[in-house]
Amino acid sequence: MRSLRTLLLLLLLPTAFAFKQSDFKTCSQSGFCRRGRALAARAQESPSSWHSPYSIKPPEFLLLNPRQPGFTTSVHSSIHPNVKFVLDVIIHEDGIVRVRLDEENGLRKRYNEAAQWALIGEPLLSEDVIWTMKGGKAKAVYGPKKDMELVVDFNPLKVTLFRGGKEQVVLNGRGLLHMEHFRTKEDSKLTEHIEGEGQSVLQVNPAAWFEGDSQDAFWEETFSTWTDTKPKGPESLSLDITFPNHAHVYGIPQHATNLSLPSTTGPTAKYTDPFRLYNADVFEYLSDSPTSLYGSIPLMHAHSATSTVAVFNVLASETWIDIAHMEKGGVETHWISESGILDVFLLPGPTPTDVFTQYAHLTGTAPLPAHWSLGYHQCRWNYVSSDDVRGVQNRFDEEDFPVDVFWLDIEYAEDHKYFMWNKKTFPDPVEMTKDVEAVERKMVVIVDPHLKRSNDYPVYKRASELGVLVKPKSGEGEYEGWCWPGSSSWIDFFHPGSWDFWVSLFKTETIDGQWSWTESTNNIGIWNDMNEPSVFNGPEITMPKDNVHYGGWEHRDVHNINGMLFANHTFQAAEARTEPPRRPFVLTRAFYAGSQRFGAMWTGDNLGTWEHMAVGIKMVLANGVGGMPFAGADVGGFFGNPEPEMLVRWYVVGAFSPFFRAHAHIDTKRREPYLLEEPYKSLLRDILRLRYSMLPVWYTAFRETSESGVPILRPQYVMFPEDKAGFGIDDQYYIGSSGLLVKPVAQKGVKEVSVYIAEDQVYYDYFTDLAHRPKNRHITLPANLDQIPLLIRGGSIVPTRERPRRSSPLMKYDPFTLRIALDTSGNAHGEVYLDDGETYGYGRGDVVWRGFGAESKKGKGKGIGTVRISSADLAAKTQVGAYDPKNEFARSVGDVRVEKMVVLGLGKKPLSVVLDGGRELEWEFALEGGVLVVKDPAVCVVDDWAIIVKLE
C-alpha cells in the first residue's frame, strides 16, 4: 500500500504527472540561448558584411612541421584583443579530427574534463599526415587514398573537412563561433561616461555589432521562483557546424521526434525552439517535441547518398542545437552551450558503419550483456510485498508465460532509504530473491541517487562522514533538496572518495565492519532512476546550477555527465560483488556519451498512447545511432491503461527492441500479460515465446555491436546508405546482420502495412514462408492483430530455439532450428554466437561462434543443381582470445544439435538430401513456395558439417 509520505510527495510534484511546458525553459527563457540565437540573427541580417572576429594572427608564426599530426597556436579576437585563446588541431587514427579551443590564462578555468569521462582513452595520433601552408591557410592531406583534406583558414578562423575535394563538415563557416570570456562585473560594462572639461563622452562598445549591446542574464538569471546566481558570469560557447552536402542529420538523443531530425529554424522549421540537451525528469513528455529528456549524447551524424560524417561535440553543460535544412541540400546547425571549452571531434566516415566504428574507438562499445537480460522483464510501481512477487511468478508459470526478471520499484525501501528493506512488506528479501532465482530468474531492484538525510540511514551517514556529498553554492556543507524520501542529499560521483564507498555498499557480506547490502544476492540487477538528477523542489525539477562538485566545478558545468557517473559506478560496484567478476545488469534513465559501456537505458515516463508507442521506436533507433544500443521503451506506457489492442501491439514493439520491459505507474490497473482476456492473452504468450525463440539472434547481434559499435537496430539509411528514398524511414528496421526486417504496427485498427524494400531481392514472410518480390520497392503484408509484419531478407540464415521454456537460462541445451532464406542467386549466410552468458570467459576464448552458409551451384539447365549447407568455426578464423575449439564452454554444449532446417526459395523438389560423406536425411518438400524441411539432421552446433541438397 502506498505510504502517506509518497502521497504527500506526489502532491508536491510540480508536474502533477503531466507535462507542463512552464516547468521547463524554452530558449527565450534561457539567457545564454537567447544570446546565441540573437548572434545568429545578427549574422543573418548582415550576410554580406558579417565575419568572424576570431583569427590565427599572424600566421607566419605558426610552427608547422609538415609530418606532424597537428598543431597548437594562439587565436586572436578582434572584439576582445586583450583576451587570448589557444587552438589545437589534431588528426588521429581512423582519420578523426579533433579541434579544441580554450581561453588562455583567463580569470578562471573553463570546464575541460568532459572528454575525460566520455572517452576510453586518449585517441592515437595519425602517422599519415602531410601539412602545407599557403595563401592564409594550413592544409593537411591524409588517408589511405590521400583523398582526405583538412583545411584551417586563418582569417577568419574556419575549419573544413574535405573528402575527394568535396566539403564534408565546416566549423565556423557562418561566423557564429563565440567563446564568452571570463570577466569581472566592472569589465562587463558596455558603456561608460567619462567626465572632462564639462563634457560627458559616451564610449561605444566596439563588440556590440557581434555580441549585442545588452548584458542579457550575464550575472544572474531568474526562472519561475528560482534565481541562478551565476558567480562566474557569462561563459557560453557558440559554434556553427555546417554539412554543405548532406541533407539528413541524425542523433543527439534523447528527443521524442523523427529519426531524421527536422528543422528548428528557417522556412521548413517544424519546431520553434532548438533541440535541447539538458538531462531532465520529464513526466508524460510530449510525443513530438525538441524538449530535452533524460539523457544527452552530443553526437550528430550527417548523411547523403555519397558519404556519412559525424561530429561529436564533447560538452557537459546545457546545450541548444538549431537545425536548418538548406534548399540546396545541406544542413546548417548552431550549437549553443552554457559553459565548457570547445572540444569537437570530426568523424570522417565515409559510410555509416565507419562512423559507428570511429565513435566506438573514442567512447567504447556496449559490452556483451548478461544473456538473461535479453529476456522479458516484468515491472510495475510497485510490487508491494514478498508475497506479491511470489504470486506474480506463480501466475507466469501457471499460465505458461516465459519471463526472466521481476523488478522492484521504490516502495520496497523503508522510507525510501535504498538498500534498506521495508520489513513489514518484505520480511524475507533474500529468501524471496532465492525463490525467484530457483527457476533461473533474476530480480532487479531500484537504487536512486537521492539519500534520505537521516542519521539512522547508514548510507547517508557514511557519505556525510566521508564528505562526498554535493555542496550548495557556498561550497560548504551539503546540498539539501527534496525527492522521494523527503529531505535528501546526493553523492558527488565526481569525488574520487565516493567510488570505493559505493562499491562497498553492494557487497553481500560485511567487510571491515562497514555497512553493506547483506540482504541481497550477487545476482540482483540494479535500476538507477531519477539520476538526471531529479529534485522535486529544484529549478526545472533538477539541481541548482550553482551547486558545487568536486574540484570546485559548478553543477552547470557537469550536469549532463552527472547521471552517467552514477550508473557507471553502480555497474562497477555490482561487477565487484564476486571474484572473478560476472556481468552485471544496470538500467539507467540519465545517460551521456560513454554510458553504453555500463548498461542499458529506457525512454522514461511515456504514456499509454499510440503516439508514444510510435515515437518510442524512433527514440530507440536514435539511441542506437548515438552509440547506446541497449535500449527500449516501457511496454504499455508508464502512464494510463492501454486497451487490449494497443497492449498487444506494444508487446510486439517490445519483443523487437533490445531491452524488453513492461512497466506501469502505481495508479494504473494491473496489466501483467496473464490478466488479459482471450484472445489477447494467448497473443501475448505467442509474442513472448517468439522473443525467446529469437534470443540467439539478439545475442549474436549484441556480440557484433560489442565489437564494431554498429547498432543492433538498423534503420534503412544504415543498411542501404546510397538509397535516398530510405533516409527518412524510421518505422521499420533490421535486427543486426540477421536479415530480419520488422515493421511494428503502432496505429489503431491496422489490417495491412506496406514495407519499403531498397533492393531487388527476394524477402520471405517469417511465419508463412511466402516469398515476396517488391513491386515499386514495396511489399504489402497482412497485419491483423494476430500477425506481425516480419520478413527474412533473401541471403540470410536465422538461428532460433523453438522449445518454450520458463526462462532463458533453461534454454542453454536446447536444439536449434535454422531458417535458410536463399537469395536470388541461391546463396545465404548467417551466424550464431554462444557463451556462458554470465562471466567474462568469452575474453579467454570460451565461446562457440559458428558461421552458416548455403552455396548453390547451377545445374545443367537454368536452375540450381545443388545447394551445399555448411557450418564453419568463425572464432578460429578471427582468433577470439586464446581460442581452442575444445574450450570449456564448447565442451559443455557439445551435444547441442540442429533439430530442423527450413530452406526457403528452392525452385523444385530435391532428389536427395544427404549429410556430406554420410547418411540420407529425412525431409519433406512443399512445392508451393519451394520450402524444404530437413528433419533432425542431428548435426551438432559446435562441429563442422555440410549437407548436400541435390536438385538434379
Burial of 933 (0-12, 13-18, 19+ CB in 10 A): middle
**Annotated catalytic residue 128:** no
Instruction: With beta carbons less than 8 A apart as the criterion, state whether 921 and 934 touch.
Output: yes
Judge whether 190 and 219 are in contact, CB under 8 Å: no
Strand partners, 170: 160, 242
Q: How far apart are CA 846 and CA 719, in angstroms?
A: 31
Query: With the C-alpha atoms ordered 367, 373, 374, 378, is the resulting torsion angle positive or negative?
Result: negative
- Partnered with residue 586 across adjacent β-strands are 526
Half-sphere exposure of 946 (CA within 13 A, CB side): 12
Cis status, amide bond into 156, omega within 30 of 0: yes
CA 776 to mean position of chain CA atoms: 34
Task: Write out 531-597 in H/E/C secondary structure.
Answer: CCCCCCCCHHHCCCCCCECHHHCEHHHHHHHHHHHHHHHHHHHHHCCCCCCECCCEEECCCCCCHHH
Helix/strand/coil percentages in the chain, nearest 5: 25, 30, 50
Q: Is 201 helix (H, G, I), strand (E, B) or coil?
A: strand
Longest CA span, the chain:
114
What are the E-state strand segments in 729-863? 733-735, 740-742, 752-756, 763-765, 771-772, 778-782, 790-793, 796-800, 816-821, 828-834, 848-858
For residue 573, the Cα-to-chain-centroid distance in whole angstroms is 22
Catalytic residue among 532, 557, 814, 835: 532
Whether 721 and 308 have beta carbons less than 8 Å apart is answered as yes
For residue 919, what is its C-alpha cell?
Answer: 547418411
302 and 243 in contact (C-beta within 8 Å)? yes
63 φ/ψ angles, rounded to the nearest 5 degrees: -85, 110
* Active-site residue, selected from the candidate residues 273, 318, 338, 529: 529
Cis peptide leading into 580, omega within 30 of 0?
yes
532: annotated active-site residue: yes
Phi first, then psi: what are they for 13, rounded to 5°? -55, 125
Please give the grid coordinates belonging to residue 697: 539472434
Pairing of strands 450-452, 486-490: antiparallel
Catalytic residue among 167, 211, 605, 730: 605
Burial level of 50, CB count in 10 A (0-12/13-18/19+)? middle
For residue 160, count other CB atoms closer than 10 A to its CB. 21
Cell numbers describing residue 96? 578523426
Phi and psi, residue 627, nearest 5°: 90, 5
Alpha carbon distance 668, 165 (integer Å): 59
CA distances from residue 828 to 250, 814, 867 in whole angstroms, order as listed? 32, 24, 10
Separation of alpha carbons 797 and 854, rounded Å: 8
Residues listed for the chain: 952
Q: Is the dihedral of CA 667, 671, 676, 680 positive or negative?
A: positive
915 near 883, Cβ under 8 Å?
no
Residue 529 falls in the annotated catalytic set:
yes
In angstroms, the Cα distances linking 542 to 23, 281, 347, 480, 535 are 11, 7, 33, 12, 4
Catalytic residue positions, numbered: 529, 532, 605
